[in-house]
Chain A
Amino acid sequence: MRAVFLAFAVVVSLVPLWPVYQDPGFFVALAGGAILGALIALLSARGSWSVLRTVLTAVVAYLVFGVPLAVPGEAFLGFLPSLQGELSLITGVVLSWKQLVTVMPPVGSYEALLVPVLLLSMVGTLFTVVLSLRLSRTKAHAGFAALVPVVTLSVAIWLGPSRSFASVLVTVGVFVLIALWFVSSRVGVARTGFRALGILVLSAVVASAVVLVTPIADRTVWRTEIDQPFVLQDDTSPLSEYRSYVTGDNKNRDLISVTGLSAGQRVSIATLDNYTGVLYSVGGVAADFTKLPGSIPTTAKNGDEVSAQITISGLTGAWVPLTGELGSFSFTGAGSRALTDAFYYSRPAGTGAVTSGLSEGDSYRTTGLAAPEVSISSISDLKPGDAIVPAPAVMPNGLDAFVSLSSKGKTTAGERLNATLTALTDQGYISHGGPDEVPSASGHGANRVAALFAASPMVGDAEQYAAAASLIATQIGFPSRVVMGFIAPEGTDATTAVTFTGAEMTAWIEISTTEGWVAVNPNPGERPIPEEQPQDPTEVAFPQTAVEPPAQDEPQLNDSSAPEVADEEQPSEVDPVLQAILAVVNALGWTLLWLGLLASPFLGVIVAKRRRRHARLSAADPRERVEGAWNEVRDALLDHGTAATASMTRQELAELSSLSAATGVAVLADTAQYSADPLSEAEVIRAWSEADGVVREMGANLTRWQKFTAKISVKSFGLSWARFTAWLPKRR
């Protein structure tokens, strides 16, 4: 039953995966897999199962229990396997590994990404327990069982995040458990066991020292090395590039050409639903970019189906302009095969991306269901929907006050949003901050939006107004997101191609209502901008919002990283020699601590034995003291590996030991217990003297390893694992 230590070691070794999941389902899969693996291993060992039978049982258990443990989202009634769940479970054996390292953490219990945890836990426990139970303890290869937790630890680290998580604790925990497994083995194990334990301890100490001394830095793991199918960080927010399209050279540059649009219909480049305080991104649905078959069913409740042929001109990059929630999609022309392979789509975001990036001349046909547009005046009748979008990380200063002032007296969410957006469009003026325009900073971070609200008059462009409007809608209770793209101008005919230039790039918002997603244009109309009003602090100082933006979120995209540089630690002035000494002392201290931790179970056993001896020696009754002397002899015999049973008498056990002095102590103890005669103090002294002589004689011809294992053996405490497994069927 000592294999329990190894089973725990496997469980502990998988803890480094926690930052990848950060979901309770992780522990369910971890514990469930370990229990399944251990049970199958026990049954296999007790029943002397063949490898085939053991593997088949493991496969059946995986299929039966795998769905609720690793694919809980597909489980029927939350705990019963379903067909879809089984399919995910089976394909997950092969596909989930790469998916796990290509999806941005935390992945939670998304799709079948818990399958690796379940498999590692179940298979690791199964292997380690089976090997521990079925390999002969006295053979050198018995140590193979201890390699399994080391392997699972390595795999967990490689599958885990680039930043280490509880590395020292986990490493120490795994090696301590393995050490306990070694210690709980039978006394008198071959010297190979000692050597293996020594190597293990040494490697653990070195590993811990390296972990402690080496500066914490991002490490190379599979996640960092694998070719990511779509790295969002590289294209976090096309909205942050908005100003570059509407000003400068791109202003008049043809970006895309679309055939099939009618006037007012839209082409979206990206749908942005995650506000970080710095920018709007598609981070909220980051894990949802998947490859697509030729067509997929749409889920929108309403909207116009728009079928269009789109040709890329100047709008190169990852983002793929679409006409709404995707219904069908196919690249046309040369390179379509490669582009199709590189195309990913996020259904929740309604956003497409090509990992290789679009280039001029690429074209495709798409059909989409566009969200219907509602005017600001029509919002009053709408009610908030139940779409899920990430909550903004921070609300800009002044937004709450602006909403309060603008929607004073309004009761319903629709009316409040109507009033606030009306105020935004009424008070706002458009300026891209070009050479001949009123100054207007780019960006849509919390500071920029706060500045928009604080300014009089408010000056900005679609980037700021869409971001502000989306945050306003969110504040009022409408799930909201920003969409960047183009709107077909008046006079556009579906039969002819319309070409969009950079100047026509715009942004709007989509809000979730009971009718589904609807598009709202929050941008003010183009009109002359009045002179800036003198600031009166008493009037413009809006109350602060409840949520203060974190300091690190303040810098805008265009800001330099000067504050970070300023915050960096100044180079150390400490003497390098002193630094080296401190490092050595630090490593030495941790190593000693580690060794102390490792040795603590052994020291505990030795201390417990000393206390036991003292209690026996100081018993009040001379009979008990003499019996205690024999008990010392008996415990020493047990700890030295004598195969004693409870049915053996003292003299039988003494004869078994082949130590004549032991028989003398046994006779004295029998006399003490079974005769009615009182015992003299001299007899007590003789008993203990002979007992100590017996114990010394026992250790006389032993190796150091045998003496050590006898000292730390717990058999004399009655902690025989056989007692705990007596209820199990006997091994054949």
Chain B
Amino acid sequence: MSMKPEQAAGFQKVFDKLVGNVEQVLLGKNRTVRLAFTAMLSGGHLLLEDYPGTGKTSLARAMAQSVQGSHSRIQFTPDLLPGDITGVSIFDQKKGAFEFHKGPIFSNIVLADEINRASPKTQSALLEVMEEHHVTVDGVTHPTGEPFMVIATQNPIEQAGTYRLPEAQLDRFLMKASLGYPDHASTRLILENSGKTKKVELEGVVPAEMIVKLIELAKSVHVDPGITDYVTNIVEATRFAPEVRLGASVRGALSLVSASRVYAASLGRHFVIPDDVKALADSVLSHRLVLDPEAEFDGVTANNVVGKILIDLPVGAPAA
């Protein structure tokens, strides 16, 4: 059953409400906020990579607050253990049995701050829960709540004491975004308001159950075969690009289609057009590519590669 135009209009209304709520605390970052909610309503996870002090944590917290659900924050450190995230089983002497104590991962929105500071072992603890939305400890599976979204942040500058995220981990993130520094006017506004008000606590504008429904509704956005063909061409092009050692996975292609659905619905459209795909391709695919070391040495970035593919690849339909 495809989405109806009026449903798309309703979707857009809720989406704009969420975005508008977050923009109260994050000024001048409309596109990034939209991307973040697109990831959320696609049922995916978001990796925010940016310099310190650009608002990564603020964004994650604002998103969590906007959704009327539980949220938690995990500060990743080198000595963080997997059990600190997923929870541990502790022996209850009264009951004479082990009892599972849920970790911070059991929230609707989990902020994994500076994720690359934890050891690979700890990072890997997120693999199952991000993909399956449940945790298995001592052979017992514990589902997380729905919706479930991990918003991870990492600092691209610091190298000492950090562990690069493995490809499998990166592939679990639906998209990677960066906030960047705010523009002049926004910075000025932030400075003017800094001493006047207390820390802003956002009100939740959409209940968690509504988010689950929106995720389901977004799946009904119509995708024409021409669009899937276009997405396939883009993904294949990443695999054959000379600068790329490892191209985008099938999961990447699926992520691009599902994100495009949400993006189309967020604009009040009940079908996907190539513009949606082009708007998201860089955010959804770039972090999944592994570049050839030589190309990387020459200064080529994954964003360059995807950008060049979008410029060179004809849109399947006779659009131009």
Contact = CB atoms under 8 A, between A and B. Distances in A.
Interface of A: 627, 631, 634, 644-653, 670-671, 673-677
B190 interface: no
Contacts of A673: 224, 226, 317
B273 interface: yes
Contacts of B310: 647
A653 B319 CA distance: 9
A676 B311 contact: no
B270 to A, nearest CB: 7
Nearest to A642: B320
Given A649-B320, A650-B320, A653-B320, A674 B314 contact: no
B319 A649 contact: yes
23 contacts: A631-B318, A634-B319, A634-B320, A644-B320, A646-B320, A647-B314, A647-B315, A647-B320, A649-B273, A649-B278, A649-B320, A651-B273, A670-B273, A671-B271, A674-B224, A674-B226, A674-B227, A674-B273, A674-B317, A675-B222, A675-B224, A675-B271, A676-B271
B313 interface: yes
A645 B320 contact: yes
Interface residues of B, number: 23
A676 B222 contact: yes
Interface SS of A by simple majority = helix
B275 interface: yes
A675 B224 CA distance: 7
Contacts of B312: 647
The 4 closest A-B pairs by CB, nearest first: A646-B314, A675-B271, A648-B320, A674-B224
B311 A645 contact: yes
Interface string B275-311: 1001000000000000000000000000000000011
Contacts of B30: none
A653 B274 CA distance: 13
B310 to A, nearest CB: 6
Contacts of A644: 320
A645 B278 CA distance: 15
B24 interface: no
Nearest to A645: B320
A677 B274 CA distance: 17
Contacts of A670: 273, 275
A648 B320 CA distance: 6
Nearest to B310: A647
A459 to B, nearest CB: 93
B252 to A, nearest CB: 20
A644 B226 CA distance: 20
A634 B319 CA distance: 8
Contacts of A627: 318
A649 B320 CA distance: 6
Nearest to B227: A674
Contacts of A677: 5
Contact of B275 (A631, A634, A649, A676): A649
Contacts of A648: 315, 319-320
Contacts of B222: 674-676
Contacts of A649: 273-275, 278, 315, 319-320
B319 A650 contact: yes
Contacts, number: 59
Given A674-B224, A674-B227, A647 B313 contact: yes
A646 B315 contact: yes
A464 to B, nearest CB: 86
B186 interface: no
A162 B318 CA distance: 58
A649 B274 CA distance: 7
Interface in B164-180: none
Nearest to B223: A674
Nearest to A670: B273
B97 to A, nearest CB: 55
Contacts of A647: 310-315, 320
A155 to B, nearest CB: 47
B186 to A, nearest CB: 25
Contacts of A652: 275, 278, 320
A676 B222 CA distance: 7
Contact of A651 (B224, B275, B311): B275
B235 interface: no
Contacts of B271: 671, 674-676
A676 B2 contact: yes
Nearest to B317: A673
Interface in B1-21: 2, 5
Interface in B219-274: 222, 224, 226-227, 270-274
Contacts of A676: 2, 222, 224, 271
Contacts of B272: 674
B226 to A, nearest CB: 7
In this complex, which of B2, B314, B320 has the most chain A Cβ atoms within 10 angstroms of its Cβ?
B320
Nearest to A673: B317
Contacts of A671: 271
Given A647-B314, A650-B320, A670-B275, 19 more contacts: A627-B318, A631-B318, A634-B320, A644-B320, A646-B320, A647-B311, A648-B319, A649-B274, A649-B278, A649-B320, A651-B275, A653-B319, A674-B224, A674-B227, A674-B271, A674-B273, A675-B224, A675-B270, A676-B271
Interface in B196-239: 222, 224, 226-227
Contacts of A631: 318
A718 to B, nearest CB: 10
Contacts of B278: 649, 652
A645 B274 CA distance: 14
Contacts of B313: 647
A663 to B, nearest CB: 11
Nearest to A646: B314
Contacts of A646: 314-315, 320
Interface in B83-104: none
A676 B311 CA distance: 28
A627 B226 CA distance: 14
Nearest to A676: B222
B304 to A, nearest CB: 15
A644 B312 CA distance: 12
A646 B317 CA distance: 10
Interface string B51-66: 0000000000000000
Nearest to B309: A647
In this complex, which of A646, A652, A671, A677 has the most chain B Cβ atoms within 10 angstroms of its Cβ?
A646
A551 B227 CA distance: 82
A8 B56 CA distance: 65
Contacts of B318: 627, 631
Nearest to B271: A675
A346 to B, nearest CB: 70
Nearest to A631: B318
Contacts of B5: 677
A375 B79 CA distance: 129
B312 to A, nearest CB: 6
Contacts of A645: 311, 320
Contacts of B317: 673-674
Contacts of A674: 222, 224, 226-227, 271-273, 317
